[in-house]
Structure 1
Amino acid sequence: MNGYNNPSNFSFYQDGDTIQVFFAATVFQNKIPNRDIFQGKIINNDLTDIAPITKINTDNFEAYPMISKDGRLLVFVSDRAGGIGGTDLYLSIKKEKGDWSEPINFGDKINTPVNEISPFLDDLDNLYFSSNGFDNKEDFNIIKSEYSDDYQWELARTLPTPINTDSDEITPFIHNNQIYYASNRAGGCGGFDLYANELCGKVFLTGQVFDSQNKLPLQGVLNLYDNSGKLISENQIGDNGKFSMNLNPNSSYTLEYYNTCVPLYTPRKSINTPCNEEEITQITLPIELRLESKEYEFQGVVPFFVSGYYKPNTPNELQNLRLLFANNILGIADSNKYIEYPDAKYDAYSETVQEGLNSLVATILEILRNSKSKCNIDVYEHIKISIQGFADERGFSDFAKYSGEDITDPILGKVIPRGTKMDNDLLGLLRGYFTYKFIETQLSKDNLYQANSYKIIWDISSGGVTTDEDELILKRKVKIIISTQ
């Protein structure tokens, strides 16, 4: 930090492998000292690329920079003209190109005619700061304003005792439901001492899961995830559908409910726990399971097909296709030269395609297994499986023809003779059909499917040329949608 006068008020933001650093330092204008805000980087333990933030700094006082956890919000203090009075809090927002927006005064929900200093943003962007303009008190107290949405904060309020006293409390810092701050209150070691208190009371979550049709309670599993997606706990729900759990205050969670009776539908609820000064805050959360048909979409893994070919790219079909080329059944006649010889790159793809189709077969069997449910809900009588095949926009020569065996399967509602002129609509239909054949063949090996196949309604169609993807290789796919009825 050589060359910078009295650097202080450091704030840090982890940006990949780089740590972004914000701080205030004294600058001299016509030999008069002033404070400006600077930004730098820590790379390999070295602080580099230090520069003043010109979008923020003025000829007035700027200090106490505070960067949000995600690096998009920068709060700071300034006594520039146009404020509410004294030193105010200002907000600057990072733009897409990385530069900072023009600072915005927080307004009179937060700022007062006297002084606001030392801002801090917690993980939920709630704003803490010190001010001597609240509650008709001349000493500095710690103030909180909760973040609402769209860069808006609620009306600020003074935190209660024992955090605040009749002395000064400044520089709040929040970590793991602890608030750390400095105070010159009586009973300390002298001057400003450091103190810590629990910030928020405990949060107790209760609720019930029920179906929307009969309003009956449902059992199942309720998974709790933190804001990074990490699974915190699995909670079994009994026959009464009720659940309860202790949560950390001032945190973000996601609840995911799973019921084996309706495996296609796993409702999720997001919840932000409050930070209240009460000893315990109770939250009641109903989770409603709606029984309308829900769809499961399986996009497949691309390339799901070899270029020009219509059978899914599984290891077995890949081997069969190469045998057709080796025996000169494909690749010689003008009628089938549109089919590409599958080189080695398709081998890795084929394993993933096989895994995806196996997973789909397992899902269908699970739905069949639960079609007669032991739960207190009405479940589906039929399962509709729609398979739609797609092609890329490359066309075919006038000689191109379908080179497989005649297809007379009533599932298509039409006959496709060998030698039918090939186009993208036909290729999409063939891809849908042969994907159906693969899935149905796998299902037929299971006794459960043999006993319940009458419940399946198949719908095979062509999507023609897809415009969903940019690359040609990504357009050779099927879309499979399972809906319960």
Structure 2
Amino acid sequence: MMKIRILSILLALVFISCKSVPPCPDELEIGNLGTTINTGMDDHLPVVYGDTLYFTSTREESDDKELVFMSPIIDGKFTYPVIDKNLPLNKFQKISSPAFYLNKQTGIEELYFAAINPKTKKGNRDIFVSVDSGNGWSNPVPLGYKISTENYESHPSLSSDGSILLFSSDRPGGIGDVDLYLSARQKDGSWADPVNLGKDVNTPKADIAPLIAPDGYLYFASKGYGGDSTYDIIKAEPVKKGSWQKPRKMKSPINTNFDESGPAIWNNMLILSSNRKGGCGGFDIYSFDLCGPVTIEGEIAGNGAGIPLNGIVGLYDNNKIKLLEQIISENGKFSFPVEVLKTYTLKYNNNCLANTALEQDITTPCNDTSSVKLQVKFTLPEEQNMFQTEEFAVPFFVTGYYKPNTSDNLEGLRMKFAYNIIGIADSTKFIEFPGPEYDELSLKVDEGITNVVENILKSIEQLTAPCTSGKNEITIHITGYADPRTLSDYSRYFEDDIDDEDFSIHIKRGELMSNELLSILRAFNTYLLIQSKLIDSEEYQNFLDKIKWEIEGKGIDDKPDVSNEMRRRVDIKISIK
């Protein structure tokens, strides 16, 4: 596989390090990779696979043949190229640079290249494929009659996911001398009939050496966009997979009045071959920054509640490793220089947000004509804690009942069944008898109620903290829900009357039971339970006049894809205002 081949090449470097190379000019043209890569012969058609540069060359080691060489990129630097003797393509005549695809699910590696087909009388150039399943490369074969025809086919290139094959061909029915074609991989692994990329991409002249970058942009070389007879590097923005906007010619120093071809991309580097002046001779390999610099500029915005903005913003890579951090002052501003075409996570921490971190994921763009400043904004949330019983993944209420399934309430409900207080008359048959499966579930409910009580006490502590200066009230809002199953017309509320003026709740014994009433009773009884856990707390007693309770019944929980058991629930929101 690729790692093994790279190791063999690194060993070979020891033996060729003293090999003389033709000197290049003392002052090379900007972007020229110098004698590490280039010679006085043609070095062109670069391709990058993983961290390895491949290109074709007619240098001394090739014995006057055009062969593919490889240069492992180590610590961001190119190493001296050697012939990869493991690749079967060097046995062919007039080869192109390779195109690779590794299927990560199967571990099978695919190699595509163009070369003279030795089995045809005409000796035309076809596209070949070879696979490596772990035992070395298979014997290359032409890629079927749909791709390899009696005409010229060359410059194969695959999308990063292996689903699209691009190549150049002069087959009949095209738009110009040589056109770009696209073939999509079928479900059975075969390639569909190629489709000409059309007049929006192809020109009446030659269009060759296509590349689909990881961000979907199309790069290729063309004689039809520069107004002269030389090849230029062309770029097109994606519209959707396999479709692009009208291409444009890239600017200097990428393009000159000479030939540029074989675009390849490695990180933020555009690699190409050119026969421009100032090189080592013939075609040389050049590299340029593909994109302008990118800066993330951010702002922390308040929520009008007077919470200080001071905190820390961290910049993390896609492996969640912290790269940089900045301390945020009261102006709330921050800035990070970042790499292009990378995904980052920004995390903002503020001690006044009760250990809650605000996060945003950002993928940095590439703009080859200017620098980019990405504007990011974090807005402080309202100071509140939301407790949702569904997060505990257990039913918080028995079917038809309204007291939370704590251990004590569960025992009390079973006693009502045991003494035939409920379950006999039609008016109470809507209430489920709690079987033994509820015993273990009740421990989770106990834990949930304890969690709410602890959060309320923490909120009380925050009333005296500097972060909440100017705030003087805690609001606890409890919302009850029922599952969508209907109750019979015989169903009745069977316990003592409720007359609570604070919440304007007035329920008479024998009142018709409905899902709306059931949801109110669940919210109200949850309040009574939490209140009973808080009543002996000195902190709670000291701030009774600053705590406001709100009760609401929402009726049926209409969340999609939720089981009936999980719809029997309450939400509890704790806010500091």
The answer to whether TM tops 0.5 is yes
Aligned partner (choices 554, 557, 572) of residue 463 of structure 1? 554
Pair 1:248 & 2:339 matched: yes
User: Structure 2 vs 1, CA of residues 341 and 386 (structure 1 numbering), >3 Å: closer, same or farther?
Assistant: closer
Aligned partner (choices 74, 77, 82) of residue 164 of structure 2? 74
Counterpart of 2:211 in structure 1: which amino acid?
A: F
Question: C-alpha separation between the residues in 1 aligned to 2:541 and 2:385?
Answer: 23
8 Å CA contact retained: 2:405, 2:442: yes
8 Å CA contact retained: 2:239, 2:245: yes
Question: C-alpha separation between the residues in 2 aligned to 1:363 and 1:440?
Answer: 13
User: Structure 2 vs 1, CA of residues 292 and 359 (structure 1 numbering), >3 Å: closer, same or farther?
Assistant: closer
8 Å CA contact retained: 1:77, 1:116: no
Superposed displacement of residue 172, structure 1:
0.6
Aligned to 1:392: 484
Counterpart of 1:12 in structure 2: which amino acid?
A: Y
Aligned to 2:221: 130
Alpha-carbon displacement from aligned partner over 1:118-138 (angstroms, at most 9, x marks no partner):
433444333333334444464
Equivalent residues in 2 for 1:102-251 (5 A)? 105=197, 108=200, 111-136=202-227, 138-147=229-238, 153=245, 155-158=247-250, 160-161=252-253, 166-174=258-266, 176-179=267-270, 199-200=290-291, 202-211=293-302, 218-226=309-317, 235-251=326-342
8 Å CA contact retained: 2:492, 2:511: yes
Superposed displacement of residue 387, structure 1:
1.0
> Which segment drifts farther, 8-17 or 125-134?
8-17
How many residue pairs were aligned?
475
Alpha-carbon displacement from aligned partner over 1:126-180 (angstroms, at most 9, x marks no partner):
3333334444464545444455789655753426547989454415132x43445
Question: C-alpha separation between the residues in 1 aligned to 2:462 and 2:345?
Answer: 26
Question: C-alpha separation between the residues in 2 aligned to 1:268 and 1:181?
Answer: 39
Question: C-alpha separation between the residues in 1 aligned to 2:244 and 2:440?
Answer: 50
> Which segment drifts farther, 325-334 or 234-243?
325-334
8 Å CA contact retained: 1:260, 1:370: no
Percent of matched pairs sharing the same residue: 32
Question: C-alpha separation between the residues in 2 aligned to 1:54 and 1:228?
Answer: 44
8 Å CA contact retained: 2:515, 2:556: yes
Equivalent residues in 2 for 1:83-102 (5 A)? 85-89=176-180
Equivalent residues in 2 for 1:326-365 (5 A)? 334-343=426-435, 345-346=437-438, 349-350=441-442, 353=445
8 Å CA contact retained: 2:233, 2:261: yes
8 Å CA contact retained: 2:236, 2:246: yes
Superposed displacement of residue 311, structure 1:
2.5
Mark the runs of 5 or more structure 1 residues left unpaired by the alignment.
none
8 Å CA contact retained: 2:290, 2:368: yes
8 Å CA contact retained: 2:294, 2:374: no
Q: Specify which structure has the higher proportion of helix.
A: 2
Question: C-alpha separation between the residues in 2 aligned to 1:344 and 1:55?
Answer: 67
Aligned to 2:517: 426
8 Å CA contact retained: 1:387, 1:436: no
Superposed displacement of residue 431, structure 1:
1.9
Alpha-carbon displacement from aligned partner over 1:291-330 (angstroms, at most 9, x marks no partner):
8898957362453323233233445545555566567666
Question: C-alpha separation between the residues in 1 aligned to 2:342 and 2:272?
Answer: 21
Superposed displacement of residue 11, structure 1:
4.6
Mark the runs of 5 or more structure 2 residues left unpaired by the alignment.
1-86
Equivalent residues in 2 for 1:58-73 (5 A)? 64-69=156-161
Counterpart of 2:388 in structure 1: which amino acid?
A: F
Aligned to 2:404: 312
8 Å CA contact retained: 1:85, 1:115: yes
Aligned to 1:298: 388
Question: C-alpha separation between the residues in 1 aligned to 2:128 and 2:326?
Answer: 48
Pair 1:383 & 2:475 matched: yes
User: Structure 2 vs 1, CA of residues 286 and 173 (structure 1 numbering), >3 Å: closer, same or farther?
Assistant: closer
Question: C-alpha separation between the residues in 2 aligned to 1:93 and 1:348?
Answer: 54
SS in structure 2 of the partner of residue 310 of structure 1:
coil
8 Å CA contact retained: 1:13, 1:21: yes
Superposed displacement of residue 413, structure 1:
1.5
Pair 1:475 & 2:567 matched: yes
User: Structure 2 vs 1, CA of residues 477 and 199 (structure 1 numbering), >3 Å: closer, same or farther?
Assistant: same
Aligned to 2:375: 285
Cα RMSD, aligned residues only: 5.6
Superposed displacement of residue 257, structure 1:
3.7
8 Å CA contact retained: 1:221, 1:236: yes
User: Structure 2 vs 1, CA of residues 406 and 288 (structure 1 numbering), >3 Å: closer, same or farther?
Assistant: same
Equivalent residues in 2 for 1:4-43 (5 A)? 10-12=99-101, 23=112
Question: C-alpha separation between the residues in 1 aligned to 2:494 and 2:307?
Answer: 56
Aligned to 2:72: none
Superposed displacement of residue 390, structure 1:
1.9
User: Structure 2 vs 1, CA of residues 18 and 422 (structure 1 numbering), >3 Å: closer, same or farther?
Assistant: farther
Q: Specify which structure has the higher proportion of strand.
A: 1
Question: C-alpha separation between the residues in 2 aligned to 1:97 and 1:472?
Answer: 42
Superposed displacement of residue 463, structure 1:
2.5
> Which segment drifts farther, 209-218 or 443-452?
209-218
Question: C-alpha separation between the residues in 2 aligned to 1:240 and 1:154?
Answer: 44
SS in structure 2 of the partner of residue 415 of structure 1:
strand
